[in-house]
Amino acid sequence: MIKLSDYDTRPPKDIDKGEIKDQTEAFAERLGDLHQLLLAEQKHAILVIFQGMDASGKDGAVKKVFRKCTHNNINVYSFKKPTEEEFAHDFLWRVHQRVPAKGNIQVFNRSHYEDVLIQRVHGWIDEERYKKRMNAINAFEDLLQFDNNTLIFKFYLHLSYEQQEKELQERIDEHDKNWKHNPNDWKEREHWSEYMRCYEDVLNQSVLPWTIVPVDERWYRDYIVAKTIVEGMEKLNMQYPRISE
């Protein structure tokens, strides 16, 4: 049973920051190579999901980890409040349109899990609907795996309550971060305990496991995410196609 309070939001004390940054750079380079292999082979798709509280560093993770990938065949999408058309369909309708084709990497900055997190925290769905949606999500991810060879990485960006306050305040105090400021983030912060409860339920009830990433120090976040994706993609044993005789 996953209990988020058992997981540190900071890196281990005995690791060397400079060494970790060097390893992160190497993983980013290798991810660029693996992306080319993915594109050339056209046998697998990659879906990367980032979830976390406001200011947990989802945008930064995308920017840092995928910086060596080409712009071809990699897409980033952020799920916001559904449009009227999206509300008129089932909650996964808009998500299915964004999943990656073979040869592509698709990054979700927030995802279909918003529909069992924020909606549950605010009581917009009841517990029965939550359970049915979780079952639908597990079936959906299973479908992507077996029907389209999609390798799915799910990252929960584990931020401390104290660090979130610091990050949100910087958006007010530092002029080059003012554009990130959203007063609603402070209102959502008032529901921290309920969000933690709902996140724990999601982490425990997901069939595909999550990687819990400490993010109070962003350099360690980048290392864990890059390492996890590279090691997962290496297991695909991808090869460049050869010209037939």
Angle at 90 between CA 87 and CA 91, to 5 degrees: 75
Express as a percent the part of the chain with pLDDT over 90. 91
pLDDT at 208: 97
pLDDT band at 1 (very low <50, low <70, confident <90, very high): very high
Burial track 167-203 (b if 16+ CB lie within 10 A, e otherwise): bbeebeeeeeeeebeeeebeebbeeeeebeebbbbbb
pLDDT at 72: 80
pLDDT at 73: 85
For residues 57 and 215, is the Cβ–Cβ distance under 8 A?
A: yes
Instruction: Tokens for 37, please give them.
Output: 């292999």
Q: What would the mean pLDDT of 108-123 be, rounded to a whole number?
A: 96
pLDDT at residue 78 greater than cutoff 80:
yes
CA 243 to the chain's CA centroid: 37
pLDDT at 71: 79
In tens, the pLDDT along 5-42 reads: 999 999 999 999 999 999 999 999 999 999 999 999 99
What integer best gives the mean pLDDT of the chain?
A: 95
Q: What would the mean pLDDT of 170-179 be, rounded to a whole number?
A: 92
CA atoms in the 13 A half-sphere facing the CB of 114: 18
- Name the CATH topology of 17-234: Rossmann fold (3.40.50)
pLDDT at residue 129 greater than cutoff 70:
yes
For residues 63 and 75, is the Cβ–Cβ distance under 8 A?
A: no
pTM over 0.75: yes
pLDDT at 245: 64
CB atoms within 10 A of CB 69: 19
Q: Give, for 134, the enclosing helix (H) or strand (E).
A: helix 127-148
pLDDT at 32: 96
**How is residue 94 annotated by DSSP?**
H
pLDDT at residue 2 greater than cutoff 80:
yes
Express as a percent the part of the chain with pLDDT over 70. 100
CA atoms in the 13 A half-sphere facing the CB of 68: 16
pLDDT band at 114 (very low <50, low <70, confident <90, very high): very high
